[in-house]
Amino acid sequence: MGTFCSVVKFENLQELKRLCHWGPIIALSVIAICSTMAMIDSVLWYWPLHTTGGSVNFIMLINWTVMILYNYFNAMFVGPGFVPLGWKPENSQDIMYLQYCKVCQAYKAPRSHHCRKCNRCVMKMDHHCPWINNCCGYQNHASFTLFLLLAPLGCIHAAFVFVMTMYTQLYNRLSFGWNTIKIDMSAARRDPVPIIPFGLAAFAATLFALGLALGTTIAVGMLFFIQMKIILRNKTSIESWIEEKAKDRIQYYQLDEVFVFPYDMGSRWKNFKQVFTWSGAPEGDGLEWPIRRGCHQYSLTIEQLKQKADKRVRSVRYKVIEDYSGACCPLNKGIKTFFTSPCTEEPRIRLRKGEFILATRGLRYWLYGDKILDDSFIEGVSRIRGWFPRNCVEKCPCDTETEQAPEGEKKNR
């Protein structure tokens, strides 16, 4: 009893509130519907338990469900790991390289960023995911990625069961009208007859579950490949945008320097091991990170400070070249834009051709920024903030929030 009380603390019970959100409710509902229907279809109408294959199939379905839920709840309740309140580096001289968070009353450790939803500075923050109602970061990156892998695999297995159930049950009931077509379905005939007949309600439920399984396989599978891509490069979505702005800053001012991302170990396998370990715990403490040769521990934070000081690269100016309705997953903007829609609660911006946008961060096919409501580009004016497709805008020639610097000033800076 004492052990149970030590595990179930008040803070842990408070974490259960994360379940009271549309993201976890939808995600857990999809998991429950697909796994339950797959087990019912398999046992009653497709592959009975009294056969060896049916028993193995049933155990595999249970195994998928358990592993998916284990990694899902790990990602949700273990969390990304937060920078301790009041944290500062051991060496006081390193403070000059770090930004200070007024909310957390602490310095932002390398690779950490403040999340407005969690209201804390998150270690190695990638994004805030509404489906787990938590951030994806240092501690739960592996569990989150495993969930993205296991969910499509489990749904593929479930979809196979759904298709075979409908095929075997409906074969003798449908008349195709072609006498020349003969298919041997003796293996699909059940003996004894199922206790519950495969009626219209069962068919509708199986068809609905099949749609959920296929949709989940495509959507979550795309997210898995995106996550694996950044893991193999040892980057986060935020760091990819910082790197893009760094290259833009160097090109604009014609600087004789090259920005090298400091946390890429130069090997995909080494980058992979930064997240996935045999112990299940990621390498390091989330505050200090191994860096590649020739880089500084604070190379990325120094670049952030440069961008913060440079008013021009805080946001990149874009002109709208194509209307956008503000849809979450627009079908008319390309299949890649449709499937890579950001998984976030942040809104989308409705765009009209000729408007101007100030992008502050982005993904490969999406950008996030502000739409200015008047004709002025002065700080402090009213703005609408949110996501919009990258292929609806083009970068302005001057690419600046203020007047373009003279040619001589570019080189001097």
- Residues carrying an active site annotation: 129
Give me the half-sphere count of Cα atoms (radius 13 Å) on the Cβ side of residue 150.
21
Q: Which residues contact 143 (CB under 8 A, 6 or more apart)?
A: 71, 72, 74, 75, 78
Q: How many CB atoms lie within 10 A of CB 388?
A: 25
Q: Categorise residue 128: left if φ over 0, alpha if ψ from -120 to 50, beta otherwise.
A: beta
Which amino acid type is present at position 44? Answer: L
User: Starting from the edge strand earliest in sequence, which strands make up the sheet with 366-372, in order?
Assistant: 383-389, 366-372, 356-362, 316-320, 393-395
How far is 186 from 178, CA to CA, in rounded Å?
19
Which amino acid type is present at position 240? Answer: S
Size (the chain), residues: 413
Q: 121 pairs with which residues across the strands? A: 114
Give the CA radius of gyration of the chain. 26
How far is 80 from 141, CA to CA, in rounded Å?
7
Give me the half-sphere count of Cα atoms (radius 13 Å) on the Cβ side of residue 215.
11
Q: Pull the structure tokens for residue 307.
A: 């961008």
Q: Pull the structure tokens for residue 64.
A: 């998928």
How far is 357 from 371, CA to CA, in rounded Å?
5
How far is 328 from 38, CA to CA, in rounded Å?
30
Cis, bond preceding 389 (omega within 30 deg of 0): no
Q: What are phi and psi of 7, to 5 degrees?
A: -85, -45
Please report which helix (H) or strand (E) contains residue 115, including its range.
strand 113-115
